[in-house]
Amino acid sequence: MPVRLTNRPFEGGFLWQPASVIHAEHSKNSCGKGRHKAAVSLRFSAMHAALHQIHARVSDAVAHQTALRICGGGSKDFHALQLQGEILDTRSLSGIVSYEPSELVVTVRAGTPLVELEAVLAEQGQCLAFEPPHFATRDGDVATVGGMVAAGWNGPSRASVGAVRDFVLGIEIINGKAELLRFGGTVMKNVAGYDVSRLMAGSWGTLGLITEVSLKVLPVVPGEATLRFEDMSQADALQRLNQWGGQPLPLNASCWVPGAGVGTLYVRLRGAVAAVEAACQKMGGTLVEQGQAAMDWVACREQTLPWFTARAAGDCLWRLSLPQTAPQLSLAADALVEWHGAQRWVYAPRSKGEALQAAAQAVGGSASLFRAESPDAITAQALFDQKLAAMQRVHLQLKQAFDPAGIFNPGRTCALF
């Protein structure tokens, strides 16, 4: 039976979420139930204490105008204009608040390691369909759920299933006024007011400190296959992907990897077993062994494929976000192509940045520096195009509304705040 916590005032001036639910295995005898309830009570007492400490820290920072650098596991610190402020570690906000497999929703604290959440979902045959990257490549790096949402990054299946923001149902944050706020809920049909929950995805902690998030999860699909198409140029791969995209095929992910003159296209199919089998026969190609394919897609997601690890000295990794139908760009002839053409990775020095941005904008896209020359360096570049006046105005107005004193992550995304 689920254990329910009732409303109770929380020291610090705000209320704890009512009727939080935890599912757990426990004994059917009365002693077993008592031990289970005591364990849950202790666990939620620890959550209360952790949240209170975080809230007190933010309140003190607001009172003294002290900048805070929100930090979970540090796995995405490489991506920033600058890192400044006193570190506010969110890892004490850890644990799953509620999980309803039958309802396809999980509510989890922001400091929970992403790998732990994924393990719990896998036990129930479910997953985060957008395949968030961890990027926990250095010793001590741990991707957290809060960092996953704050970064808004997605894995290979993003073009087919949607982005992380599309799976955020509700969120709890502490804003720059030290107010604990909750937006959204745990259901899809929640349309009252502004959709602030999704706004937090990709905000990089500049609008508020995420303390808890409710996510939509999906069942693991029954059928999956990866096809390999060798000796295929980038232009041919883009054309083929566009043709397949207009057909009723269970396309889930794609990756074109450049080679010596030509490259190799990998396409992952997911869906009903019959649909996947029919697509394999129709599309052709070579079927990749399932175990090897799974490892390759993880390597693609985590940027550990040989293409990502072999770069010339002085080159940066640039991310081009383009329309899927955009043609091959002359400056990105050796790009690694994902998302059916919508995401393209290019190695180039910083001096080529303006040319890459101009080429991407010419076809309706954008280019941004994703990784610096050295793995230990930060990108040291704004995370959005500061030349767009309308975007600047919107960002500044949002910052003023949520964090008027500029307490959270100053300078993380741009020099304006």
Which tens digits make up the pLDDT trace of 255-271?
Answer: 999 987 789 999 999 99
Query: How buried is residue 10: exposed, middle or buried, by Cβ count under 10 Å (0-12/13-18/19+)?
Result: middle
The answer to whether position 376 is within a domain reads no
Q: Give the end of a domain, one of 219, 243, 258.
A: 219
Assess contact for 258 and 272: CB atoms under 8 A: no
Same-domain status, 214 and 265: no
List pLDDT tens digits, range 323-378: 999 999 998 889 999 999 999 999 999 999 999 999 999 999 999 999 999 988 99
Q: Is residue 391 included in any domain, yes or no?
A: no
Q: What single letter denotes the amino acid at residue 243?
A: Q
39 or 352: which leads in pLDDT: 352
Which residue among 166, 199, 219 closes a domain? 219
Pick from 42-56, 95-109, 270-284, 333-347: least confident: 42-56
Whether 337 and 297 share a structural domain: yes
Rounded distance between C-alpha atoms, residue 357 and residue 360, angstroms: 5
Q: What is the CATH number of the domain that holds 153?
A: 3.30.465.10
Are 187 and 235 members of one domain?
no
Which of 169, 194, 219 delimits the end of a domain? 219
pLDDT score of 25: 32
Neighbours of 385 (CB within 10 A): 14
Q: Are residues 257 and 346 in the same domain?
A: yes
214 and 258, same domain (yes or no):
no
Range(s) of the domain holding residue 339: 224-371
Task: Report whether pLDDT(290) > 80.
Answer: yes
Q: Does residue 417 lie within any of the structural domains?
A: no
Is residue 403 assigned to a domain? no
196 and 87 in one domain?
yes
Same domain, 134 and 276: no
Domain count, the chain: 2
pLDDT, tens digit (0-9, with 9 covering 90-100), for 170-204 = 999 999 999 999 998 776 655 556 688 999 999 99
Are 210 and 286 found together in one domain? no
Let me know if residue 163 belongs to a domain. Answer: yes
Say yes or no: 295 and 155 in one domain: no
pLDDT at 15 over 70: no
pLDDT tens-place string over residues 199-255: 999 999 999 999 999 999 999 999 999 999 999 999 999 999 999 999 999 999 999
Contact 113, 144 (CB under 8 A): yes
* One domain for residues 211 and 350: no
Do 306 and 335 belong to one domain?
yes
Could you tell me if 243 and 187 lie in one domain?
no
